[in-house]
Amino acid sequence: MKKLLTISIITVNCLLATVPDIDTIPKSIIIPKEVKKQTPSLIDIEGKEKYAPVMKDDKSGKKILVKGFDIKGNNNLSYEELNNEINSFLNKELNFNQLQEITSIITKKYREKGFFVARAYIPMQDIKQNNNIFKIVVIEGNYGKFKLINNSLVNNSTVQNMFDNAKNRGNVISTDTLERAMLVINNTPGAVVSKAEIKPGKEVGSSDFLVEVDASKRVNSFVVFDNYGNKYIGKNRIMSGVDINSPFKLGDKISLFGLISNGADLKNYKISYNFPLMANGLRAGLSYNNTDYNLVNLDDGILDEEYFGDSKIFEVSLEYPIIKSRLETLDFTAIYSDKNISSTTDEKDSKEINSISFGLNHIKNQTFLGLNAKTTLEAILTIGELADKSMMNGSYQKINFNSSIDLDITSIYSISSSIKLQKAFKNQNLDGSEDMNIGGSNGVKVFPDAELSAEQAALFNVEFFAKLPEVSGLNHKIGLFYDIGTASMSQKDEDIIFERRTLQDIGFGYYTNYKNTFTKLQVARVVGGQDIETENIGNISKVLFQTGLVF
């Protein structure tokens, strides 16, 4: 964290220089990923024809010379792309089975591209009269009707429009458009696609779909206990959250969250409402987040009295899935934020920050070095305006970049790593609430959240996991991790004492998952010789514990 000094109160502020403040405390409140609802897996489509093996020549029958191909109906795959698949048959005498083999190859190409009902066939023709040009017709397959059986918490018209959006994105039936529609529904609170069956349509070349949508749970909730706090606002914390799915039958969601530390020295609550705007997956959200804290004298007389602060954050958000498939997603987000922050030591300091951020988040399941991998790339641009009653006002811009990869080495061993970067533009020093924390449970774990933060920052985490044998339904694993992070100010400031530091730790963890509970136990040790300054306890180890129950 940045260390502020003023001439009139230099003694007091020296004591306060290394304790948490309202700029760093809210960023330490992170909901564990283990309690976040996962999007249900996609079902297989019933009635979908599997591609049959290519027909082979039976060495009998008449043959005819083929000098070229005339392909009709191929609106989504080019002639050149299809011709490259079958040009080995040119200028050869072919029998009927070999001609059928050509259409089978074209059909297979369409299936590989996701057009799973497309097929090529041989129309009536006289190849000799057509100057030995072989005609091929492709029926790519058009969407007919989506016949809905809706047992979900979401009204019929909302679900129906989400399915019909597949037709609006392209009338030709394809895996991309159909998967997207089903994933959008599965991502809608209160609904999950339980069955999809393809049926012949009324019109030639069309197919209907019979789809069933079931209800998800009306309420999701969790309770989590951890010791991720610090001695000034309470080490032990308990947090709880409740999601009410589709309360107004719109595919909307009301979320409530609260956190309190031992002694009630840190209190946080958040209420949010999220709802669909369009059938294509565009959603909007409103949220209000409030944090209050008191710094108290716990054991060593660092503080002679209580100091307190609070933050009130109102946000409006938009989220749109640009790409949405089984293996890949690309989401765009835009968030407007209004922060009102105040803190009191010897005098009250208040500020307001208005900002808008634009983000892209890309997740892909793929193979990396021949191994199964999940990669995540995220970039967020933030543009804001600060109004501080005790300091100068001003605008700022920053960018954050986050990247991670989860790699399955074998069925037992895996490795996870991540990189987080932040940079402020125009060589600006940002307000502390916009800085990036290097310490904390998601950073260099042995150091508290308030240990080091600045506008120019980088963080790297890596952990190697080994699964242990399952015991009566208990899934558990051990991990060995290493963390390193650094932060620096954009430019020197006479009123701010700041030392660029590099923090490192190493440690091991034990992780369990049993039914609807999870536990994390981590032991981290400082490496690199840096002291833990925020709690004046020098170079030691730390034990982190978290356990949760998901309902």
pLDDT of residue 59: 57
408, 533: one domain: yes
pLDDT of residue 537: 66
Residue 36 CB contacts under 8 Å (≥ 6 apart), including other chains:
none
195, 237: one domain: no
262, 353: one domain: yes
**522 and 509 in contact (C-beta within 8 Å)?**
yes
Indicate if the pLDDT at residue 445 is higher than 90: yes
In sign, the C-alpha dihedral spanning 82, 84, 88, 91 is positive
* Site of tokens 């259409």: 103
Rg (CA), the chain: 30
Pairwise pLDDT comparison (308 vs 472), residue with the higher score: 472
CB environment 237-261: b (16+ within 10 A), e (fewer):
bebbbebbbbeeebbbbbbebebbb
* pLDDT band of 215, cuts 50, 70, 90: very high
Does residue 55 sit within a domain? Answer: no
pLDDT of residue 525: 93
How many C-beta neighbours within 10 Å does residue 392 have? Answer: 7
Does residue 306 sit within a domain? Answer: yes
293, 328: one domain: yes
Cα angle, residue 193 at apex, residues 189 and 195 outer, rounded to 5°: 165
Indicate if the pLDDT at residue 518 is higher than 70: yes
CA distance 66 to 79: 17
pLDDT of residue 185: 95
Does residue 254 sit within a domain? Answer: yes
How many C-beta neighbours within 10 Å does residue 90 have? Answer: 14
pLDDT of residue 496: 62
In sign, the C-alpha dihedral spanning 119, 164, 168, 206 is positive
> Number of helices and strands (H, E) in the chain?
5, 28
The β-bridge partners of 509 are: 479, 522
Indicate if the pLDDT at residue 470 is higher than 60: yes
Question: Cα dist. 547→213, 217, 473, 510 in Å?
Answer: 34, 23, 17, 12
Q: Per-residue pLDDT averaged across 135-153, rounded?
A: 89
**468 and 474 in contact (C-beta within 8 Å)?**
no
Indicate if the pLDDT at residue 487 is higher than 80: yes
**445 and 503 in contact (C-beta within 8 Å)?**
no
Tens digit of pLDDT for each residue in 161-194?
A: 999 998 888 788 888 888 899 999 999 999 999 9
Indicate if the pLDDT at residue 33 is higher than 50: yes
Tens digit of pLDDT for each residue in 248-300?
A: 999 999 999 999 998 767 899 999 999 999 999 999 999 999 998 887 655 55
278, 336: one domain: yes
Q: Per-residue pLDDT averaged across 22-48, rounded?
A: 77
Domain final position from 196, 214, 232: 214
Indicate if the pLDDT at residue 49 is higher than 70: no
CA distance 233 to 222: 23
Report the amino acid identity of residue 21. D
356, 449: one domain: yes
129, 251: one domain: no
Q: Per-residue pLDDT averaged across 228-247, rounded?
A: 91
437, 513: one domain: yes
**451's tokens:** 């240990």
Indicate if the pLDDT at residue 8 is higher than 80: no
Q: Per-residue pLDDT averaged across 47-73, rounded?
A: 68
Looking at every residue in the chain, the average pLDDT score rounds to 85
pLDDT of residue 30: 84
Does residue 516 sit within a domain? Answer: yes
Pairwise pLDDT comparison (145 vs 60), residue with the higher score: 145
**Which pTM does this prediction carry?**
0.81
Does residue 52 sit within a domain? Answer: no
Torsion of CA 257, 312, 318, 332, to 10 degrees: -90
Does residue 58 sit within a domain? Answer: no
| Most confident stretch, 142-146, 242-246, 365-369 | 242-246
What CATH number should be reported for the domain holding residue 148?
Answer: 3.10.20.310
Tally of structural domains, the chain? 3
17, 148: one domain: no
161, 226: one domain: no
226, 364: one domain: yes
* pLDDT band of 1, cuts 50, 70, 90: very low
Does residue 59 sit within a domain? Answer: no
28, 125: one domain: no
Tens digit of pLDDT for each residue in 379-392?
A: 999 999 888 655 55
Which DSSP state fits 515? T
What CATH number should be reported for the domain holding residue 403?
Answer: 2.40.160.50
Domain final position from 171, 191, 214: 214
Indicate if the pLDDT at residue 80 is higher than 80: yes
**134 and 127 in contact (C-beta within 8 Å)?**
yes
Indicate if the pLDDT at residue 363 is higher than 50: yes
CA distance 25 to 11: 23
Domain final position from 93, 124, 139: 139
The domain in which residue 99 lies consists of 64-139
Does residue 48 sit within a domain? Answer: no
**79's tokens:** 């002639």
Task: Of 284, 378, 281, 379, give the one whose Cα is nearest residue 325.
Answer: 281
